Amino acid sequence: MLRKIANPARLLTFQRTMASTASTGPLVRTELDSQTGYATVILNRAPVNSLSLEFMAEIIKTVDELERSKIRGMILTSPSSKVFCAGLDVLEMVNPSEDRLRSVWRNLQDTWAKLYGTSFPTVALINGHAPAGGCLLALTCEYRIMCSNFSIGLNETQLGLAVPPWLQKTMRNTVGSREAEIACIKGTMFSSEEALKIGLVDELAADKGEAMHKACNYLDTFKNMSPYARSATKLLLRNKKIEDMKRAREDDIDRVVKNVMNSDFQAGLAAYLQSLKDRKK
């Protein structure tokens, strides 16, 4: 459940209607508490918040809007009781047109860059599983609070995908070189408790209410600090990585096209999709 806001009149909800979504309502919902200036961004692409081209475009637009609104902090979460974000929409990888594949990858790069380089403080409230692109979203935030009994990690190699350099660097920056190297190569999925142990998340919470409380506590630490000094320091720390990604982005896209258009990869993906279905039987 989302944190109750004392005065509902203070709650501004930005809503956008998106085409081609199976979710109820907008793909991304933003609730702004005008008392604190904190925005809760709720990823809302049922059933598992998988990242399609349009969904990522919506996340990017939302962050742009929040930058313009001069918010004091953002909490990124999901309305699901089981999944924070299931990563890239695997259907985007099934025999895609090259043009769409390039656009999907470009949007993933931009989603990462936008969230990684926000001027305001960000917390991922990971209230469910966060494989691959779900872990990526969490890693872009400054602080991660994870509910117990879920899993998180960069499991791309398990699917036959290479982890792009900019994502490897983000992981390395968070958990250190050795842990990142082993985790990326093996495609390890960590339990919430293991993730805390290696520093992939910063705190655990018993449930979403507790996680929300902890998220607000993190954002409150900046209450009396100059937003300029805070964000300038963050961007000095992070901008080079964003610029590096942008410089190499066309090579990155070419590599992904080669990876995904490969017939061995497509055969492996078909088997993977079948295994997702079989798990339910």
Ligand X SMILES: CCCCC/C=C\C/C=C\C/C=C/C(=O)SCCNC(=O)CCNC(=O)[C@H](O)C(C)(C)COP(=O)(O)OP(=O)(O)OC[C@H]1O[C@@H](n2cnc3c(N)ncnc32)[C@H](O)[C@@H]1OP(=O)(O)O
Catalytic residue IDs: 88, 133, 155-156
Task: Tell me the angle at which helices 249-261 and 98-116 cross, rounded to the nearest 10 degrees.
Answer: 130
Among 56, 71, 76, 86, contact with ligand X (rule: CB under 6 A) = 86
DSSP state of 44: -
Cβ at position 162, least distance to ligand X in Å: 6
Interface residues for ligand X in 135-194 (CB under 6 A)? Answer: 156, 159, 161-164, 167
Q: Which is nearer to ligand X, 117 or 160 (CB)?
A: 160
Q: Which is nearer to ligand X, 132 or 219 (CB)?
A: 132
Number of residues that bind ligand X (CB under 6 A): 33
Region from 43-51, 64-72, 205-213, 226-234 binding ligand X, contact rule CB under 6 A? 43-51
Q: Which is nearer to ligand X, 91 or 182 (CB)?
A: 91
Report if residue 270 touches ligand X, rule: CB under 6 A.
no
Report if residue 195 touches ligand X, rule: CB under 6 A.
no
Scan for tokens 């998220």, then name that residue.
Answer: 215
Report the length, in residues, of the chain: 281
> From CA 42, how far away is CA 128, in angstroms rounded?
13
Interface residues for ligand X in 104-123 (CB under 6 A)? Answer: 104-105
Q: Which is nearer to ligand X, 52 or 122 (CB)?
A: 52
Among 129, 144, 208, 238, contact with ligand X (rule: CB under 6 A) = 129
Report if residue 260 touches ligand X, rule: CB under 6 A.
yes
A 10 A CB-CB count for 195 gives 25
Record the tokens describing residue 243, joined without a space.
């610029």
Cβ at position 272, least distance to ligand X in Å: 7
First CA to last CA distance, the chain = 30
β-pair type (190-191, 151-153): antiparallel
User: Are residues 170 and 139 in contact, defined by beta-carbon separation less than 8 angstroms?
Assistant: yes
The CA-atom distances, in angstroms, between 273 and each of 45, 91, 100, 119, 278 are: 19, 9, 20, 38, 9
Q: Which is nearer to ligand X, 107 or 122 (CB)?
A: 107
CA-nearest of 185, 187, 186, 221 to 203 is 221
> From CA 35, how far away is CA 53, in angstroms rounded?
34
Report if residue 253 touches ligand X, rule: CB under 6 A.
no
Report if residue 133 touches ligand X, rule: CB under 6 A.
yes
Phi-psi region of 37 (alpha: psi -120 to 50; beta: other; left: phi over 0): left
Cβ at position 2, least distance to ligand X in Å: 20
User: Are residues 17 and 33 in contact, defined by beta-carbon separation less than 8 angstroms?
Assistant: no
In the complex, the residues that contact ligand X under the rule CB under 6 A are: 47-48, 50, 82-83, 86-93, 101, 104-105, 129, 131-133, 156, 159, 161-164, 167, 256, 259-260, 276-277, 280
